Structure 1
Amino acid sequence: MFIDKLEQRQRQVNSLLCVGLDPQPTKIEALGINLLPWLKNIIDATADHVCAFKPQIAHFSAMAAEQPLTDIIQYIHQNYPDIPVILDSKRGDIGSTAERYAEEAFGRYQADALTVNPYLGGDTLSPYTQYKDKGVVVLCKTSNQQSGQLQDLVLQSGQPLFLQVAQLAAQYWNNNQNILLVVGATYPEQLAAVRQQVGDMPLLIPGIGAQGGDLAATLEAGLRSDGLGLIISASRSVIYAGDGTDYAKQAEMAAEQLKMDINHFRTH
């Protein structure tokens, strides 16, 4: 089970940090290094401090780098088998198309979990959740500024749409106990409401770092009583912490510092 693997890793290294792998060609080319060696260096430098890695598929596919994506997930599995890989692709479609997306993520790329969009309804999530050992990370309250245009709409029930998604995920969609939710660090009040709605379900938290989410407020709103339940994702603030020949060392230092900052709030 993905969640068991994730939480075992979190306890093993005392870290809630997930490092996102979002390659930007201009930044990498400026270092005079190719994509795959750059990825391996970033992973090797930060692995001791993370509970997961999260490659963003669009950053790879835009570069026609599907093979490096396959290679780097395999590299993580071979060299760091305790670290799960979350493929960030936010897939969402019906029927056989959703089945192909699931095969892409879990078959072709061998990811441990996948981000998905629930906007088309619960039946479009079952092609993913039927992979019982994989994680299905459902968008709930995203970190972008205008997420509220849809996600905060108040329904006839009196609750906002994002809380309806949380309720459906916890009560109706999660038959195989492998669903997680995405809730942005930029909305700690909404995060607290989601936590109350879903109990102990793990939450993936983007928005810390470059997007300016409040770490202390996020942890206060979302942590479970056991100090787990959150995956704090950071990408640009870690992997591009340095732009010189010591870029890997700078990434390591940024990851370690963020892990320490998270743990400071977890223990106070």
Structure 2
Amino acid sequence: MTSRELFENIKKKQSFLCVGLDSDLNKIPEFLLAKEDPIFEFNKRIVDATVPYAVAFKPNLAFYEVLGSQGWISLQRIVKYIKENYPDIFLIADAKRGDIGNTSKMYAKVFFKHFQFDAVTLSPYMGQDTVTPFIGNEGKWVILLALTSNDSAAELQMLPVGDGSQRLFEKVIDASMHWGSENNLMYVVGATKANMLADVRKLVPHHFLLIPGVGEQGGSLQEVVQYGMNSQCGLLVNSSRAIIYADRTQKFAEVAGQKAKELQMQMAGFLKTSNLL
């Protein structure tokens, strides 16, 4: 999927919503625990209910790895289900990998060849040769951590580097932006750092950005749009807990769909205001 194709899907659905599938066995509705594969059943119903309003889904791998081999089975099942039933969806493996080149080649095969994800999140800390094996897969995307939404992110990401004219997150973006292109490289920028998006956009005005932190973490969608939207939208805004755990009754999927629709309607308004529809 190219950036243009992603933008066309954003316009079609009038949405730049990414739903995070952070599916916790301890938080899903209790009645699902009687199912053979509770996590898959939960994900399937969430996906079916929210897919009219979302352009992307993002399973966070920690919630599957914690379940051992069964978690990997559940992950593979939901990826296969999405690919077969909703082929226009942009599917992100939130894996945050980053290792030497030889190991990265194996990770790239896991996520792009075996699971058929469209994108994977990576840590850029070890440099270009850890990212190149992922970039080399046609039609696939790398999403590099740049400026994250967690409380202690500033301990490293905001440190001045070199002559002090750049902060570390800016150096990461500046150094990495030529590793790929606008059609295979995105950056993670947390919604709780929305005012910093203007600085990010000075470096990468045309790249897509994955924006977590809207919803439970308190990020403002309006500020994200104000500082981060570009001429092709350029945003995938992720919401996880505020959607998938909005209800724990038999109606959980219906409520999740309503929460996703509420965000989609806001996004449609911003897209229209920006003359992108």
2:176 is matched with 169
Whole-angstrom distance in 1 between the partners of 2:16 and 2:29 = 31
Q: Which amino acid in 2 is paired with 1:162?
A: F
Task: Give matches, 1:147-162, under 5 Å.
Answer: 147-157=153-163, 158-162=165-169
Task: Give the deviation of 1:32 after TM superposition.
Answer: 3.1
Is the Cα–Cα contact under 8 Å of residues 2 and 135 in structure 1 kept in the other structure? Answer: no
1:16 is matched with 16
Q: Which amino acid in 2 is paired with 1:235?
A: S
Task: Give the deviation of 1:176 after TM superposition.
Answer: 7.9
Task: Give the deviation of 1:262 after TM superposition.
Answer: 2.5
Q: Which of the residues 240, 255, 258 maps onto 1:253?
A: 258
Task: Give the deviation of 1:169 after TM superposition.
Answer: 2.5
1:119 is matched with 125
Is the Cα–Cα contact under 8 Å of residues 6 and 52 in structure 1 kept in the other structure? Answer: no
Q: Does 1:209 align with 2:205?
A: no
Task: Give the deviation of 1:31 after TM superposition.
Answer: 3.3
Q: Does 1:46 align with 2:15?
A: no
The secondary structure found in structure 2 opposite 1:136 is strand
2:193 is matched with 187
Whole-angstrom distance in 1 between the partners of 2:156 and 2:28 = 36
Task: Give the deviation of 1:190 after TM superposition.
Answer: 1.5
Task: Give the deviation of 1:86 after TM superposition.
Answer: 0.5
**Any unmatched runs of 5+ in structure 2?**
none
Task: Give the deviation of 1:70 after TM superposition.
Answer: 0.7
Q: 1:150 to 1:245 in 2, by over 3 A?
A: same
Is the Cα–Cα contact under 8 Å of residues 181 and 202 in structure 1 kept in the other structure? Answer: yes
Q: Which amino acid in 1 is paired with 2:24?
A: Q
What is the CA RMSD across the aligned residues, in angstroms? 1.4
Cα-to-partner distance string for 1:72-99 (whole Å, 9 max, x where unaligned):
1110010001111011001100121111
Q: Which amino acid in 2 is paired with 1:116?
A: L
Q: 1:263 to 1:175 in 2, by over 3 A?
A: closer
Whole-angstrom distance in 2 between the partners of 1:79 and 1:96 = 34
Q: Give TM-score scaled by structure 2 length.
A: 0.92
**Any unmatched runs of 5+ in structure 1?**
none
Q: Which of the residues 93, 97, 101 maps onto 2:99?
A: 93
Whole-angstrom distance in 1 between the partners of 2:17 and 2:221 = 12
The secondary structure found in structure 2 opposite 1:201 is coil
The secondary structure found in structure 1 opposite 2:176 is helix
1:231 is matched with 236
- State, as a whole percentage, how many aligned pairs show the same letter: 38
Is the Cα–Cα contact under 8 Å of residues 112 and 135 in structure 1 kept in the other structure? Answer: yes
Whole-angstrom distance in 2 between the partners of 1:72 and 1:159 = 41
Q: Give TM-score scaled by structure 1 length.
A: 0.95
The secondary structure found in structure 2 opposite 1:44 is helix
1:62 is matched with 66
Is the Cα–Cα contact under 8 Å of residues 246 and 256 in structure 2 kept in the other structure? Answer: yes
Whole-angstrom distance in 2 between the partners of 1:2 and 1:41 = 28
Is the Cα–Cα contact under 8 Å of residues 31 and 243 in structure 1 kept in the other structure? Answer: no
Is the Cα–Cα contact under 8 Å of residues 2 and 112 in structure 1 kept in the other structure? Answer: no
Whole-angstrom distance in 2 between the partners of 1:248 and 1:176 = 34
Whole-angstrom distance in 1 between the partners of 2:199 and 2:272 = 22
